Amino acid sequence: MVRSVPKHSFSKPIIILLAFVALLGISLTRDFRSASSSAYVSFATTWGRDKYHIISPNVSSDYPKKFENVGGNNTDRYPERALARTYADLPAPELKWEQMPSAPVPRLDGYSVQIKNLLYVFAGYANLDHVHSHVDVYSFSTNTWTESFEIPADMANSHLGVATDGRYIYIVTGQYGPQCRGPTANTFVLDTDTRKWESLPPLPAPRYAPATQLWKGRLHVMGGSKENRHTPGIDHWSLAVANGKALEKQWRREVPIPRGGPHRACVVVDDRLYVIGGQEGDFMAKPGSPIFKCSRRFEVVYGDVYMLDETMKWKGLPSMPKPDSHIECSWVVVNNSIVIVGGTTEKHPVTKRMILVGEVFQFNLNTLTWSVIGKMPYRAKTTQAGFWDGWLYFTSGQRDRGPDNPQPRKVVGDMWRTKLRLLH
């Protein structure tokens, strides 16, 4: 199962029927849930009925601008009772994890693409002061790291957009250099058969960690943070590509995304494009710092799910069980479900500490329902996930301080796998 080449076994009418049944079920239980004091209350607050309708982005609003005023707070977005649960670990079944060979280097904010039995892991930070400029390749069939090779000198090192057609890997924009340095709009394509890199037309404006996918013959890039690394972008561009070549000279403007920001999962399954989780706001360079030292700013993590189909209108789908960000490459598609490993959630409401996510989530696309299907060996963000021969793998990222402390600490290169068994 390669994440770029989704398979499906249901015809469209069946999916529509299942979706309708699921929505009916949700709307029937919703009132009950919000009246009870169960764990579902916090989900219900983010499951407005309007979410199932078409969402038009408020392009004329000053929405992204409010993030330029970085001292604000988010009490308007997350009422206290919803916040209370977002940071806590959710009940999750234990999984039996097996440790595999670690990556050659530790890696935070790395990006990955699986093609057949190979996981290509790109760039990332070794630590805040040092970024990688190479690709490490892991073979799921031999369970070894088989190869490393350079990325182009003018390619970004983190906050990339990545997508593949099963041979070519497209790498769009991102942050160039360590700490909280500026972005580049440079865009590249790697031919994995020849290991050759080529340039593509640069994105119209640079972005940090935009949602990126190949969909219906076009490379789509949307959201991300704008040039200051913090302000959410809602722009959406696409470029026709085939066999590693751009078929157009310029990117085309597309319908803006309802909610902007970086670090989301972007997945195409059965000709539909899904954008999952992410955040608004991010660390920024400290004004005047010669090394562009990262400093923390106001951010909101969310679990929103948006979907584009052939109508090219965004539709809202049920939100994740908790807000989740830094999951760009933390997903696989298995049996018409999207499985997501780890991430980072809303900060602790009192201590304001960052909180990592240690759950494995399943979004069943037949029923449009989320479930928590397992616990990771530790909480971690910016993991790179893969699926091969019944095994769910993840590697790298930043892990927690221990079972009782979900704050981020060590940047790791560890690789783990578990036998995946989806029950529905």
* Residues making contact with ligand NAG (CB under 6 A): 58, 60-62, 71-73, 75-76, 334-335, 420-422
Q: Using CA of residue 55, residue 59, residue 64, residue 65, what is the dihedral sign?
A: negative
Taking the complex as a whole, how short is the minimal distance between the CB of residue 277 and ligand NAG, in angstroms? 22
The smaller minimum CB distance to ligand NAG, of residues 126 and 422, is found at 422
The smaller minimum CB distance to ligand NAG, of residues 148 and 335, is found at 335
β-pairing, 384-388 vs 391-402, is antiparallel
Strand, helix or coil for residue 113: strand
The smaller minimum CB distance to ligand NAG, of residues 157 and 418, is found at 418
Give DSSP secondary structure letters for 341-367. Answer: EEEEEPPPTTT---EEEEEEEEEETTT
Taking the complex as a whole, how short is the minimal distance between the CB of residue 9 and ligand NAG, in angstroms? 9
> Taking the mean position of all CA atoms in its chain, how far away is CA 99?
24
Taking the complex as a whole, how short is the minimal distance between the CB of residue 393 and ligand NAG, in angstroms? 13
Closest by CA to 328, choosing from 109, 103, 131, 107, is 109
Closest residue to ligand NAG in the complex (CB): 61
Q: State how far the Cα of 310 lies from the Cα of 314, in Å rounded to an integer.
A: 10
What is the chain's percent helix, strand, coil content, to nearest 5? Answer: 10, 40, 45
Taking the complex as a whole, how short is the minimal distance between the CB of residue 340 and ligand NAG, in angstroms? 14
Taking the complex as a whole, how short is the minimal distance between the CB of residue 130 and ligand NAG, in angstroms? 35
The smaller minimum CB distance to ligand NAG, of residues 153 and 423, is found at 423
90, amino acid identity: L
The smaller minimum CB distance to ligand NAG, of residues 176 and 394, is found at 394
Taking the complex as a whole, how short is the minimal distance between the CB of residue 2 and ligand NAG, in angstroms? 15
Buried b (16+ CB within 10 A) or exposed e, 327-338: bbbbbbbbbbbb
The smaller minimum CB distance to ligand NAG, of residues 221 and 340, is found at 340
Taking the complex as a whole, how short is the minimal distance between the CB of residue 203 and ligand NAG, in angstroms? 26
Q: Using CA of residue 342, residue 347, residue 348, residue 351, what is the dihedral sign?
A: positive
Helix (H) or strand (E) holding 394, with range, is strand 391-402
The smaller minimum CB distance to ligand NAG, of residues 195 and 419, is found at 419
Closest by CA to 86, choosing from 37, 47, 43, is 43
